[in-house]
């Protein structure tokens, strides 16, 4: 019976509604709801329970029956999303954000429709709301397997979050926990055995009742390859960096060997953990991003010089807002240490006034054992360093770069980009022989958060390109 009804309902709008003349249009039903006259709600509810194919449900929604729409209301969000996603994936103007499936399909614009990339729970109402929705969603309520959960270090929210993870954590592939209670962290992760990406942002490091830092007993997560963790309380409190050590060491020992990507703040490397731990735990690391660097971050480069990361392909170094990093001999030695492996490099804002002088007041560039970076194709740097002398040092190293990207300084005012002079642009193309593009930042007020760049080409042409389309335009 169910199959017969399904076939009957799977029809074009012109056949479903008398008088429809254009099969390319969705035609509304007459004012009378003929379906309600034929059978009562209980009968239709039973019949439609056999209709599971999203296309069939879509056909039913085109019939324009208020009765059928009411019966199918709780099922249509997930069904229509499965039909819409393949189309939306082809549209590069749509960017992922944080909404439920219902929010996506209830919205009137395509940009809003593509929001279920991640479900974000950031307060009590949102967590309770999602738990209610998950009860009637058939299958995986997270659709793309990504949950962002902020419990604000509150026990009540933490308990609700744990309940949510206990019921659905096994379907998650990506998980972000913000301000989660550290003594419940292991329990939360234990409910998510299949995650591949884990981001932890916390205001507190784990401590015992006396306030001493604690290591975490972490569960096995065999698929985990990408980790991003950050402790807000240590952002500007250097004396507390050592309290990060047990917390960071727990993750390095539990997951270090399987990690391909690690993003963290500088306190992890300034916490007192021995360099041997980093070297032996991260032997398979392919991408490293270190944030919040400043003039006191020199010890980090001393660690980098010693580690044995033979698979590191991408290195991203970011300064703290309004700060800069000294370009010293140890900085240059760090880059040279990874020269055989790096394919992509992001440089922080550097202070380079003493670039060529070492501690003996000798020219650094003449003493250095200069080596080429054979695989390095993409380099990015801050716009304020465009005229820095460091580029002269790089001409003998970055011999194969094809794309040089300048970014706005990491500051609170992103709307005042500097300019790239014609002479400086010609200098870059002349000294980096394989350079094909220079990307220079511009802020487009009409684009919202999208970053606009001017792409200057070696052949003299230039054009505008948005960051979210950069891969398709120039392959960056």
Tell me the pLDDT tens digit for each residue of 292-315: 999 989 999 999 999 999 999 999
Q: Which residue has the tokens 């999203």?
A: 54
High-pLDDT (> 90) share of the chain, %: 35
The pLDDT assigned to 161 comes to: 86
For residue 134 the two structure tokens come to 């998950």
Q: Are strands 325-326 and 314-319 parallel, antiparallel or unpaired?
A: unpaired
Last residue of a domain, one of 73, 88, 103: 88
Region of 294 please: left (phi>0), alpha (psi -120 to 50) or beta.
beta
**Distance spanning both ends of the chain, measured CA to CA:** 55
Give the least confident one: 69-73, 271-275, 461-465.
69-73
| 397: in domain | yes
* Token pair 């916390």: residue: 202
Quick check: 317 pLDDT over 90?
yes
Judged by average pLDDT, the poorest of 105-109, 139-143, 385-389, 393-397 is 105-109
Q: List Cβ neighbours of 414 (8 Å cut-off, separation of 6 or more).
A: 408, 443
pLDDT digits (tens, 9 = 90+) for 51-93: 877 778 777 877 778 888 788 776 766 666 556 555 544 443 3
CA torsion through residues 386, 387, 388, 393, sign? positive
- Domain span including residue 393: 286-476
Q: How far apart are CA 355 and CA 204, in angstroms?
A: 38
Domains of the chain: total: 2
Place of tokens 């979210």: 468
Tell which wins on pLDDT, 353 or 455.
Answer: 455
Weakest mean pLDDT among 2-16, 40-54, 423-437, 451-465: 2-16
Cα–Cα nearest to 380, from 340, 344, 328: 344
Average pLDDT over residues 256-263: 97
Q: Is the pLDDT of residue 147 over 90?
A: no
User: Are the C-beta atoms of 407 and 380 separated by less than 8 Å?
Assistant: yes
Q: Is 408 inside a domain boundary?
A: yes
Dist. CA 104–CA 78, nearest whole Å: 10
Boundary (domain end) residue, out of 47, 73, 88 = 88
Is 75 within the bounds of a domain? yes
Task: Give the containing element (helix H, strand E) for 42.
Answer: helix 41-48
Q: Which residue has the tokens 């309520």?
A: 141
**Chain centre to alpha carbon of residue 153:** 23
pLDDT at 308: 95
Q: Is the per-residue pLDDT at 364 higher than 50?
A: yes
Please state, rounded to an integer, the average pLDDT across all residues of the chain. 76
100 in a structural domain: no
Q: Is 445 a domain residue?
A: yes
Percent of residues, the chain, with pLDDT higher than 70: 64
DSSP E strands in 22-145: the ranges are 119-121
CA distance 411 to 323: 9
115 pLDDT above the threshold of 60: no
Domain boundary, last residue among 45, 64, 88: 88
Of the candidates 111, 163, 159, the residue with the CA atom closest to the CA atom of residue 134: 163
Give the span between the Cα atoms of 458 and 476, in whole angstroms.
16
Mean pLDDT for 445-460 is 74
Query: Does residue 308 contact residue 341 with C-beta atoms inside 8 Å?
Result: no
Phi and psi at residue 326, in whole multiples of 5°?
Answer: -75, 130
Residue 151 lies in a domain: no
Q: Give bridge partners of residue 463 from the DSSP assignment.
A: 455
User: What is the rounded distance in angstroms from the CA atom of residue 197 to the CA atom of residue 118?
Assistant: 13
pLDDT band at 399 (very low <50, low <70, confident <90, very high): very high
195, 229 Cβ separation under 8 angstroms: no
Q: What sign for the dihedral angle of Cα 26, 32, 36, 39?
A: negative
Rg (CA), the chain: 28
Q: What is the pLDDT of residue 456?
A: 94
Residue 358 zone, left/alpha/beta (φ > 0; ψ -120 to 50; rest): beta
Domain membership of residue 263 (yes or no) is no
What distance in Å separates the CA atoms of residue 166 and residue 150, rounded to the nearest whole number? Answer: 16
Name, in order, each residue with C-beta under 8 angstroms of 32's C-beta and a sequence gap of 6 or more.
none
Residues 330-341: b if buried by 16+ CB within 10 A, e if exposed: bbbbbbbbbbeb
pLDDT digits (tens, 9 = 90+) for 6-62: 444 444 334 433 333 444 444 443 445 666 667 788 888 888 888 877 778 777 877
Confidence check: pLDDT of 141 > 80? no
In a domain, 266, yes or no: no
Where are the strands (E) in 296-377, listed by range?
A: 314-319, 325-326, 344-346, 350-351
pLDDT of 114 strictly over 60: no
Residues sharing a CB contact under 8 Å with residue 299, sequence separation 6 or more, in sequence order? 269, 270
């Amino acid at each position: 019976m169910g199959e017969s009804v399904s076939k009957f309902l799977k029809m074009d709008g012109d056949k479903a509604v008398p008088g429809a003349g254009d099969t390319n249009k969705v035609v509304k039903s007459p004012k009378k709801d003929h379906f309600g006259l034929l059978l009562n709600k209980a009968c239709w509810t039973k019949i439609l329970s056999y209709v599971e194919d999203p296309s069939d449900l879509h056909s039913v929604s085109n019939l324009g029956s208020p009765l059928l729409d009411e019966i199918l209301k709780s099922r249509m969000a997930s069904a229509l999303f499965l039909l819409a996603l393949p189309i939306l994936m082809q549209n590069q103007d749509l960017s992922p954000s944080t909404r439920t499936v219902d929010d996506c399909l209830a919205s009137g614009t395509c940009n809003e429709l593509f929001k279920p990339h991640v479900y974000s729970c950031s307060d009590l109402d949102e967590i309770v709301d999602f738990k209610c929705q998950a009860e009637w969603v058939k299958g995986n309520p997270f659709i793309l397997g990504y949950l962002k959960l902020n419990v604000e270090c509150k026990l009540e929210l933490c308990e609700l979050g744990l309940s949510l993870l206990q019921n659905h954590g096994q379907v998650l592939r990506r998980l972000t926990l913000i301000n989660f209670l550290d003594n419940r962290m292991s329990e939360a992760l234990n409910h998510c055995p299949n995650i591949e990406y884990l981001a932890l942002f916390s205001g507190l490091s784990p401590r015992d009742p006396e306030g001493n830092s604690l290591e975490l007993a972490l569960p096995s997560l065999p698929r985990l390859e990408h980790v991003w963790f950050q402790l807000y309380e240590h952002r500007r409190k250097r004396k507390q960096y050592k309290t990060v050590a047990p917390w960071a060491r727990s993750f390095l020992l539990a997951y270090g060997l399987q990690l391909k990507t690690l993003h963290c703040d500088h306190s992890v490397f300034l916490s007192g953990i021995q360099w041997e731990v980093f070297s032996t735990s991260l032997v398979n690391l392919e991408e490293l991003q270190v944030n919040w660097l400043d003039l006191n971050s020199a010890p980090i480069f001393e660690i980098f010089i010693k580690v044995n990361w033979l698979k590191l392909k991408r290195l991203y170094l970011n300064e703290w807002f309004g700060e800069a990093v000294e370009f010293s001999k140890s900085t240059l030695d760090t880059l040279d240490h990874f020269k055989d492996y790096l394919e992509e490099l992001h440089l922080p804002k550097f202070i380079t006034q003493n670039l060529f002088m070492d501690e003996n007041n000798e020219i650094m560039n003449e003493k250095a054992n200069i080596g080429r970076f054979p695989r390095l194709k993409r380099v990015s740097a801050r716009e304020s360093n465009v005229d820095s002398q460091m580029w002269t040092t790089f001409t003998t190293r970055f011999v194969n770069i094809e794309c040089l990207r300048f970014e706005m300084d990491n500051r609170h005012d992103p709307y005042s980009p500097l300019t790239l002079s014609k002479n400086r642009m010609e200098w870059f193309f002349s000294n980096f022989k394989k350079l094909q593009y220079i990307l220079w930042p511009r802020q487009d007020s009409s684009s919202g958060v999208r970053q606009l760049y001017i792409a200057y080409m070696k052949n003299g042409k230039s054009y505008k390109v948005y960051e979210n389309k950069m891969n398709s335009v120039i392959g960056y």
